[in-house]
Amino acid sequence: MKPLPVREKEYRQGLYKLERTAIIPFKWVILVVTLVLWVWIIKRPPSTIVFMLFVLYFLFNSAQTYFFYFSEVANHQIRPLVLFSYLVDVVFVSMLIYLDLATTSFGVETHHDFYVLYFLLVMRGFALFKTIAETIFVNLLISILYFITFYVPGYDLDANFAVSLVLIWLVILMSWFIVMIITRQKTELLEANDRLLRADNLARVGELAAGVAHEINNPIGIIAATTDYLKRVLPADSEAAEEIEAIHREAMRCKRIVQEMLTYANPRPSGTTPLDLKELNEEVLRFVFPRRQTEKLLIVTEYTPEPTIVSVDPNQLKQALLNLYLNARQAIPEGRVGRIVIRILNQPRAGRARIEIEDNGIGIPEDDLDNIFEPFFTRKAHGTGLGLAVTQRIIENSGGSISVRPAPEQGTVFMVDLPLAER
């Protein structure tokens, strides 16, 4: 089975913990309280259909309790089980309201406030569904179902019904607002924690890199120099020429890895200066792609008309852009006409400028999107896994940020946000 992305795993584990610690105990409380209230208010035992409703809900809660407390639930099973549980809760509440409206007590039609249980479904939906659009859509369906439960038994839809429906949507909108605030705060805390962990990891990598560089650079230099000398003195048709070339190539690769480790762990102090992002980008493009249009590759630039002045270290930003353009070129497989689109946009309200680099290459698997900036993570046969890590470090040291998303049709889009220079 295909492994789940890291974020999806965290989301499902969060659902699992929520079900165990809050939802399942609360469902048992609802079952007991509604049953007691029904018997107490109606003043007689439940009818056969009402009795079966409570029995079936009891059996389902028992099964769910067993699975979440006493049985191993795999990650890929968590969300389907929770969604099914949510559907059962919706059916239970709707049937409870319908049967309440259709029941008479001592010859008088009764109407009790079991509809408030819909508020609990609304709150649960914000934890269950990933996006606001999904949550609003499901809550709209609940509202329609709520209307049907009143309409089918022929209940008079008076002002009380309208008030209750308005209250439900007030709860939905207020919950959405509160959840958005909490989610934003949680995201900021997680990002701050990630930065602290990254800083701690960088300190450790720096100490390791310094020691590794000292111990490895000298032997690698000797190996590279010796193999280079042997390549020059041995005949081209020598049996050992191929082996010596392989040794030299791998020695230079080790040297490059060590150098990239040092660059990642101990970057040079950043000396920022105001400069035009479009001019600097054009300089990098002329170096990487001397010809803008060939039979195999087309470079397209889409720049904002006004000047885009950012405050960065020009040399470090050139290195970061160079890494991104080389990655974009390497992502385009042989035999495909490559297309790389570069967009530069001003975002004055945010105090940022954005440069987007979009290619039509093979793209990045969804499972890898959370890991591509991690040191030594690579899918390339001869990659070091440090290029994007170095790029992220440079951009963050400049006060910016970098993110990635799939291209609309095919390929990948890297987005780099940089601080605009103060005027």
At 105 the pLDDT is 46
Q: Are residues 18 and 82 in the same domain?
A: yes
Q: Is 229 part of a structural domain of the chain?
A: yes
Give the DSSP letter of residue 293.
B
Per-residue model confidence (pLDDT) at position 108: 43
Q: Do 215 and 129 have their domain in common?
A: no
- In this structure, of 38-42, 117-121, 300-304, the range with the lowest mean pLDDT score is 38-42
**Is 369 within a domain?**
yes
- 234/363 same-domain check: no
Closest CA to 327 of 210, 241, 413: 413
Supply the pLDDT for residue 160. Answer: 62
Residues forming beta bridges with residue 303, ordered by sequence position: 344
Examine residue 187 and state whether it is found in any structural domain, yes or no.
no
Q: Which amino acid is at 335?
A: G
Q: What is the pLDDT at residue 106?
A: 40
Q: How far is CA 220 from the centre of its chain?
A: 40
What does the pLDDT read at residue 56? 94
> 3-state class of 406 per DSSP?
strand
Query: Considering the domain boundaries, does residue 171 fall inside one?
Result: no
Question: 11 and 124 in one domain?
Answer: yes
If you average pLDDT over residues 4-9, what whole number do you get?
Answer: 66
In contact, 142 and 118? CB cutoff 8 Å: yes
**Does residue 105 share a domain with residue 152?**
yes
Side-chain-side CA neighbours of 15 within 13 Å: the count stands at: 26
Q: In percent, how much of the chain has pLDDT > 70? A: 74
User: What is residue 58's predicted lDDT score, i.e. its pLDDT?
Assistant: 95
Domain boundary among 239, 265, 291: 265
Q: How far apart are CA 169 and CA 51, in angstroms?
A: 31
* Residue 179 included in any domain: no
* Judgement on whether residues 236 and 301 belong to the same structural domain of the protein: no
Buried b (16+ CB within 10 A) or exposed e, 227-237: beebbeeeeee
Nearest to 322 by CA among 361, 377, 283, 373: 283
If asked whether residues 112 and 204 sit together in one domain, one would say no
Q: What is the pLDDT of residues 82-122, one digit of tens each?
A: 999 999 998 898 888 888 777 654 444 555 567 778 777 77
Provide the token pair at 295: 């039979």
Per-residue pLDDT at 383 = 64
CB atoms within 10 A of CB 215: 11
The stretch 54-69 carries a mean pLDDT of 92
5, two tokens: 């992305």
Range of the domain at 354: 273-419
- Total domains in the fold of the chain: 3
**For residue 283, what is the domain's CATH number?**
3.30.565.10
The neighbouring-strand residues paired with 347 are 352
The pLDDT value recorded for residue 61 is 93
Q: Which of 224, 242, 265 marks a domain boundary?
A: 265
Residue 30 DSSP class: H
Check whether residue 293 and residue 408 sit in a common domain.
Answer: yes
DSSP states of 236-257: TT-TTHHHHHHHHHHHHHHHHH
Phi, psi of 344 (to 5 degrees): -120, 125
DSSP per-residue letters across 76-138: HHHHHHHHHHHHHHHHHHHHHHHHHHH-EETTEE----GGGHHHHHHHHHHHH-SSHHHHHHH
DSSP H stretches of helix in 234-313? 241-265, 277-288
Last residue of a domain, one of 242, 265, 288: 265
Distances (CA, A) of 329 to 154, 229, 322, 358: 67, 33, 11, 10
For the chain, give the mean pLDDT: 78
pLDDT at 65: 93
pLDDT (tens digit per residue) in 135-169 = 778 877 877 777 777 666 555 555 566 666 676 66
Q: Is residue 230 part of a domain?
A: yes
Give the pLDDT of residue 416: 93
The answer to which of 9-18, 126-135, 198-207 has the lowest mean pLDDT is: 198-207
pLDDT tens figures, 187-226: 677 667 776 776 666 666 666 666 666 667 677 778 878 8
- Do the domain assignments include residue 188? no
What Rg, from alpha-carbon coordinates, does the chain have?
31
| CA dihedral over 327, 329, 332, 333, signed as positive or negative | negative
- Cα angle, residue 190 at apex, residues 188 and 194 outer, rounded to 5°: 115
The percentage of the chain sitting over the pLDDT mark of 90, rounded to a whole number, equals: 9
* In a domain? residue 190: no
Residues 357 and 413 in one domain: yes
State how far the Cα of 172 lies from the Cα of 136, in Å rounded to an integer.
8
User: Both 20 and 94 in a single domain?
Assistant: yes
Query: In the predicted model, is pLDDT for residue 30 greater than 50?
Result: yes
End-to-end CA distance of the chain: 55
Q: Are residues 367 and 252 in the same domain?
A: no
pLDDT in tens, 226-246: 888 787 787 777 777 778 887
pTM of the model: 0.49
Do 322 and 340 belong to one domain?
yes
Task: Give the model confidence (pLDDT) of 361-417 as tens digits.
Answer: 888 887 777 778 877 767 666 666 677 888 888 888 888 889 898 888 888 999 999
